[in-house]
Amino acid sequence: MQHLTDIQLVKRTLQRRGDASLAFAKLYGRYQAKIAAYIAAKVSYNSSLVDDVLQDTFMTAWHKLEQLKEHDKFFPWVVTIARNTAMDVLREKKRVDDISHLLNQEEPEAEEALDLGATEKMLVNLDPVDREIVVMKAVLECSFEEISAQLGLALSASKMRYYRALDKIKAEVSL
């Protein structure tokens, strides 16, 4: 199963018998690190949220794999699931924080943040959309066309925001 393509792994997983779970585990292993890095940038490097969103993302992918029309598009499809799942989790977290604040209960527990390296600290300072674009380009290795489609931006806007974000990061490095 080492050298199977995404298409072959998706087809084996869809059979839901025999080595289906092994095939999906191979897909998970192939993309888990990239998806986790993408999610981390989306949730401001909150490690507990990263783990939850990653697990939810791949559980959703497992349960909805039949909906994937083009089997060679597994990775972009999982990125979309990760993005939507992260947004749902962030919305729910904000709702809970707002309710806690309104009810004058104790402050919500402090977020468990990752020990950020220099790169992550620079990324955290970017606008969330710019951060997402940089991570999609640098970590997920998406093309500008894919980024534009995922984020609903014009191609020129994606490029402009990416290069401006890089300029901002370079300026921070120069300090």
In sequence order, which ranges of 15-127 are alpha helices (DSSP H)? 20-42, 47-63, 74-102, 118-124
Number of residues written out for the chain = 175
Q: Show Cβ contacts of residue 132 under 8 Å, excluding neighbours closer than 6 positions.
A: 41, 42, 83, 151
Burial of 171 (0-12, 13-18, 19+ CB in 10 A): exposed
Query: pLDDT per residue over 35-61, tens digit each?
Result: 999 999 888 888 888 999 999 999 999
Side chain identity, residue 134: V
CA distances from 107 to 43, 49, 104, 128 (A): 20, 18, 8, 25
pLDDT value of position 100: 52
Q: Show Cβ contacts of residue 94 under 8 Å, excluding neighbours closer than 6 positions.
A: none
Give the residue carrying structure tokens 């191979």: 26
pTM passes above 0.85: no
Taking residue 59's Cβ as centre, other Cβ atoms within 10 Å add up to 12
Residues in the chain with pLDDT values less than 50? 105-114
pLDDT value of position 1: 66
